Amino acid sequence: MDFADIGKLLVDGKNLGGLAQRIYFGLWNDVQTWPVDPATPLTLDALGTATGELVMKEGKRMFELYTTEDAAKLDINVIGEEGGKGYEYLLHIFAPGLHKKLLGFMNATKNEDLVLIAQDSAGQFYLLGCEIRSAKFQASDASGTGSTTDGRRGLGMTFAYRTHSLYTYTGSIPLTAAAPAP
Amino acid sequence: MIWTDYFNLIKVLPGRIVTPRYGTLDFGDPNLQVEKVRALYKDGFPYLELTTLGKDSLYSLSEPEDTEQGIEPQQQKPAKTTLKRKA
């Protein structure tokens, strides 16, 4: 792999922050095949892109979760000691309301192995989860009824995923169930 | 003609898929634009295969364009979807 010059690289000057208002989630055990590390990447671009598609097991699919505008973000932190550096993704979201379905989601995921996909405002996707490691529910922030009438009800949730490398995900996300093999 | 005349949806049931190129598309909708579906196929989208009509009418007519762009329609597809190109 060769280094290369890195310029400003903004497409038409666009660089809006934040995440899209849809997060995609599924069960880690429901994934049939995972994107993999780039094989012998020759460029920095290739080294920053996972290869392949997220494919679900028969009868399984990914799902959407709505999040309030400007209330979701993806933090990328460096973890590990010298010689063992890696990364931790922290995906923060806020889902408005305290309806039963949302409470059930939190109950169901709090100790579960998950896969999550977030899209940034530039349209780039980030996959939390891989063949050997899942995303985990880590914390709840600002969840509840709020204290004043100009506050808001809802659930704030943080999911964590640790990985050796940072990649964009360039595959598709099936929101329809995988079909039985012919 | 509709897109399902040219392509079969494979490996998933008809429904929504978030695509890298066009966002969320409903593959249960017969009114999807053929050109969109075709572009996804050329990208290596894993849930499409050509029908016999698709092989004959789409790729036999567009071979020069594909060659110019260096795109081989079947390059990321299993052998069973390999196209028969006309000489």
Domains of chain A: total: 1
pLDDT of A1 reads 81
What are the pLDDT digits (tens) for A35-91? 999 999 999 999 999 999 999 999 999 999 999 999 999 999 999 999 999 999 999
> What is the average pLDDT across A147-169?
96
Q: Which residues of A touch B20 (CB under 8 A)?
A: 125, 170-172
Which residues partner with A76 through β-bridges?
A89
Residue A44 lies inside a defined structural domain of this protein? no
Report pLDDT for A111. 98
Tell me, what's the pLDDT at A20?
Answer: 97
Given a cut of 50, whether residue B83 has pLDDT beyond it is no
Q: Is residue A9 part of a domain?
A: no
How does pLDDT run across B3-36, given as a tens digit for each residue? 999 999 999 999 999 999 999 999 999 999 999 9
The span from the CA of A182 to the CA of A173, in Å, is: 21
Give the residue numbers spanning the domain of A127.
64-163
* pLDDT of amino acid A181: 83
The structure tokens 């038409």 sit at A12
CA of A150: how far to CAs of A146, A153, A155, in Å? 8, 10, 16
- Pairing type for strands A114-119 and A136-140 reads unpaired
Residue B77 reports pLDDT greater than 90: no
A179:B46 CB<8 A:
no
Cβ within 8 Å, pair B15-A172: no
- Is B45 near chain A, with CB under 8 Å? yes
Q: Name the A residues in 75-104 with CB < 8 Å from any B CB.
A: none
Helices (H), chain B: 3-6, 34-43, 52-54, 60-68
Complex ipTM value: 0.93
Asked if residue A46 belongs to a domain, the reply is no
Q: Using an 8 Å Cβ cutoff, are A7 and A106 in contact?
A: no
What average pLDDT does the segment A116-132 reach? 97
- What pLDDT does residue B59 have? 77
- Tens of pLDDT, residues B32-76: 999 999 999 999 999 999 999 999 988 774 454 444 443 445 444
A122 belongs to a structural domain = yes
**Would you say residue A172 lies in a domain?**
no
- Please check whether residue A170 touches B, CB under 8 A: yes
pLDDT at residue A2, rounded to an integer: 86
- Pick from A128, A63, A71: which is nearest to A97 by CA? A71
Select the highest-mean-pLDDT range: A154-168, B53-67, B70-84. Answer: A154-168
CA distances from B1 to A21, B5, B56, B65 (A): 35, 6, 14, 22
